[in-house]
Amino acid sequence: MTFKRKPVVAGNWKMNGLKEEGIELARGVVEGSSDLNCEIIVCPSFPLLHPVSEVLENDVKLGAQDCHFEPGGAYTGDVAVSMLVDANCSHVILGHSERRADHGETDDIVKAKAEAAYAAGLVAIICVGETQEQRDQGLTMATISTQLDASVPNEATAENTIIAYEPVWAIGTGLTATPEDAQDVHDHIRTYLKTSHSYEVTEAMRILYGGSMKPENASDLLAQPDIDGGLIGGAALNADSFLAIAKAASDL
Ligand code: 13P
């Protein structure tokens, strides 16, 4: 049985943009997305979620960049999943390498956040990826396996979870994994998930590539059999380049 996976293109805006810029960017994405055959998600910073949600149409979805695993309470600076739902989010990025490196986020924390996201009805976009040092030491697959083991909940399904493979050395550097190298890791992710999740779940699960994906390299990456879309940083800050990637995904 072959599984047809609908491509996903998600824009991680990171810590960029003020309200009016976010609204303009979101409007540009909405305008260009009406006849694209892929899922499109924009993930602005927390303060932009509400204003951006008000201009989203054409089934463009809203995602946050993080959440807390507790439902509420004395967690200064954190945001609960219920607040994300209240802001019309359907998705949340979890375990991004910038959170892992800059905020001490461990696999266990990522898993707890994913469980909280599921309980709130959010789709978790769970990020994994190796550093340059781990790659140089031949530890790419082992690193990814460890991260998947400890950060993807048993309850993960193709409906509530998207995996994003983001080699840390490719993020914001202009360096991109070759399509073949990225495909090897994506194939490893799908195969490895089969040790803990059913064949049907893992065949249907979308696995995105992230790390300097741009209009110029998107088609070659997306042509790989296990690359089901992209998690885009820099190129998502411009509606035209983001939409060019979405068009490449939509043409698959
Ligand atoms: P860049 O596309 O800027 O390399 O960022 C990728 C990323 O981290 C998306 O989450």
Q: What is the pLDDT of residue 81?
A: 98
DSSP for the chain? -------EEEEE--S---HHHHHHHHHHHHHT-TT--SEEEEE--GGGHHHHHTT--TT-EEEES---SSSSSS-TT---HHHHHHTT--EEEES-HHHHHHS---HHHHHHHHHHHHHTTPEEEEEE---HHHHHTT-HHHHHHHHHHHHS-TT--TTTEEEEE--GGGTTTS----HHHHHHHHHHHHHHHTTTS-HHHHHH--EEE-SS--HHHHHHHHTSTT--EEEESGGGGSHHHHHHHHHHHHT-
Q: What is the pLDDT of residue 114?
A: 98
Q: Is 90 exceeded by the pLDDT of residue 252?
A: no
Asked if residue 134 is part of any domain, the answer here is yes
Phi-psi category of residue 220: left, alpha or beta, with phi > 0 → left and psi -120 to 50 → alpha: alpha
Q: What is the distance between the alpha carbons of residues 73 and 71, in angstroms, rounded to a whole number?
A: 7
Take residue 102 and report the two structure tokens written for it.
């800059």
Asked if residue 2 is part of any domain, the answer here is no
Name all residues whose Cβ lies below 6 A of ligand 1.
12, 96, 166, 171-172, 210-213, 231-235
- Catalytic choice (39, 105, 130, 166): 166
Q: What is the pLDDT of residue 4?
A: 86
Asked if residue 45 is part of any domain, the answer here is yes
List pLDDT tens digits, range 220-247.
999 999 999 999 999 999 999 999 999 9
Overall average pLDDT of the 109-138 stretch: 97
Distances (CA, A) of 86 to 81, 82, 155: 9, 6, 24
- Catalytic choice (39, 68, 91, 96): 96
Q: What is the pLDDT of residue 153?
A: 98
Q: Is 80 exceeded by the pLDDT of residue 106?
A: yes
Half-sphere exposure of 180 (CA within 13 A, CB side): 0
96 is catalytic: yes
Q: What is the pLDDT of residue 226?
A: 97
Asked if residue 30 is part of any domain, the answer here is no
CATH number for the domain spanning 217: value is 3.20.20.70
Q: What is the distance between the alpha carbons of residues 46 and 112, in angstroms, rounded to a whole number?
A: 20
Query: pTM of the entire structure?
Result: 0.98
**Which phi and psi (to 5°) does residue 131 adopt?**
-85, 170
List pLDDT tens digits, range 26-58.
999 999 999 899 999 999 999 999 999 999 999
Ligand 1 nearest atom to the CA of residue 174, by list position: 4
Asked if residue 96 is part of any domain, the answer here is yes
Instruction: Provide, rounded to the nearest whole percent, the portion of the chain with pLDDT above 70.
Output: 99
Ligand 1 nearest atom to the CA of residue 235, by list position: 2
68 is catalytic: no
Q: Is 70 exceeded by the pLDDT of residue 213?
A: yes
Asked if residue 193 is part of any domain, the answer here is yes
Distance 82 CA to ligand 1 centre (A): 26
List pLDDT tens digits, range 151-196.
999 999 999 999 999 999 999 998 888 999 999 999 999 999 999 9
Domain span at residue 55?
A: 8-25+35-250
Q: What is the mean pLDDT of the chain?
A: 97
Asked if residue 17 is part of any domain, the answer here is yes
Distances (CA, A) of 208 to 5, 38, 73, 129: 11, 13, 33, 12
Q: What is the pLDDT of residue 1?
A: 59
List pLDDT tens digits, range 45-97.
999 999 999 999 999 999 999 999 999 999 999 999 999 999 999 999 999 99
Distance 173 CA to ligand 1 centre (A): 9
Confidence of residue 2 (pLDDT cuts 50, 70, 90): low
Q: What is the distance between the alpha carbons of residues 125 and 160, in angstroms, rounded to a whole number?
A: 9
Q: What is the distance between the alpha carbons of residues 70 and 50, in angstroms, rounded to a whole number?
A: 21
Asked if residue 3 is part of any domain, the answer here is no
Domain count, the chain: 1
